[in-house]
Amino acid sequence: MISITRFETLTPGPHLIVLGAVHGNETCGTTAIRKLIDELNNGLSLTKGTLTCVPICNPKAYEKGTRFFERNLNRAMYIKESPRDYEDLIDPVLCGLLDQADILLDIHSYASQGGPFGFLGFTNAQEIEYCRSLGINDFVYGWADAFGEVEEDPRDNMGTVEYARSVGCIATTIECGNHLNDDAADIAYDTIINALTYLGMVASGSVEQAKAKPTDQQRFVQMKSVFYKEKEGDTTQPWKHYDTVAKNDVLATYADGEELVAPEDGVIILPKLHAEVGGEWFYFGVETTSPEPQS
């Protein structure tokens, strides 16, 4: 069972959907969404539009405290003709909700050390403005393009954000830092409040406003490639998210001596130091200025 809470106002406005625990061991979004639901049930009011909250998108993974139950819900997220895995049964529920929404905020955390960042949408100016309004300083963009280079079926890289964009939503994923960071849930809550404020869905002064960072301090990294762990090996050091590296730096070494090196000066993104063979190991990107909208 998936618990869904929807708040409908009597004034036309945008429909924002907020997702938590798409990965079951990422609980900061769940905590923040439940806090918001409690506040909306006890005095806080929305001024317009519709808010849909899903605190736990993957209940069995959440119960086990694992990233997923049978497969990664945030990959290959589309309705299957012949569902096989538990997560395949969740796809129609989330896809159906996203079909109804205008804006998506998907809240995550990650296993490596580091602070909050957002996956920036850069397909249009409205999406860039929305993402940059959420109080986040660091952004990564180009996720789908990087994955498209290695996936045979383009749908295999489709997660919540990619599906949402395919049905006309503006969307972003916000990573609130390491799973165990003390401030992860607070960052998640502030991000939701910033989204509601940007959309004009809460009245000024009705809730303590999170302080958004100046946009001229924001940093941007364009994803270039995905490194999979093809056989046994280790990273050359305990890389942290947003670590910078130079061209030809050795990033990881396989047990047979083969080395993986940085193809150019760049940035390590979301390293998984204990990745299993065959899994995503780390991502590689380069620092840029803010991307220009494509449309």
pLDDT by residue (tens digit) across 43-102? 899 999 999 999 999 999 999 999 999 999 999 999 999 999 999 999 999 999 999 999
Give me the pLDDT at residue 57, please: 98
Domain boundaries, the chain: 5-217, 223-288
pLDDT of residue 152: 65
Q: For residue 143, what are the contacts with CB-CB under 8 A and spacing of at least 6?
A: 119, 157, 161, 223
Q: Considering the domain 5-217, what is its CATH architecture?
A: 3-Layer(aba) Sandwich (3.40)
pLDDT at 209 over 60: no
Mean of per-residue pLDDT scores for the chain: 92
Domain 223-288 has CATH 3.40.50.800: no
- C-beta separation of 55 from 37 below 8 A: yes
Query: How would DSSP label each residue in 165-234?
Result: HHTT-EEEEEEEEETT-TTHHHHHHHHHHHHHHHTT-B-TTSSPPP-PPPGGG-EEEEEEEEEE--SSEE
The pLDDT of residue 293: 82
Q: Note the pLDDT of residue 157.
A: 80
Report whether pLDDT(267) > 60.
Answer: yes
User: Model confidence over 114-168: pLDDT tens digits?
Assistant: 899 999 887 789 999 999 999 999 999 987 777 665 556 778 889 999 999 999 9
Q: Which residue has the higher pLDDT, 104 or 274?
A: 104
Whole-structure pTM over 0.85, yes or no?
Answer: yes
pLDDT at 166: 94
Q: Mean pLDDT across the stretch 194-211?
A: 80
According to the model, what pLDDT value does residue 175 have? 97
- Per the CB < 8 A criterion, the answer to whether 43 and 34 are in contact is no
Q: What is the pLDDT of residues 268-281, one digit of tens each?
A: 999 998 899 998 89
pLDDT of residue 210: 55
pLDDT at 156: 83
* 35 compared with 209, residue with greater pLDDT: 35
Query: What residues contact residue 194 under an 8 Å CB cut-off, 6+ apart?
Result: 133, 134, 135, 210, 212
The partner residues of 108 in beta bridges, in order of sequence, read: 175
Radius of gyration of the chain (CA): 19
pLDDT of residue 147: 66
Distance of CA 221 to the CA centre of its chain: 15
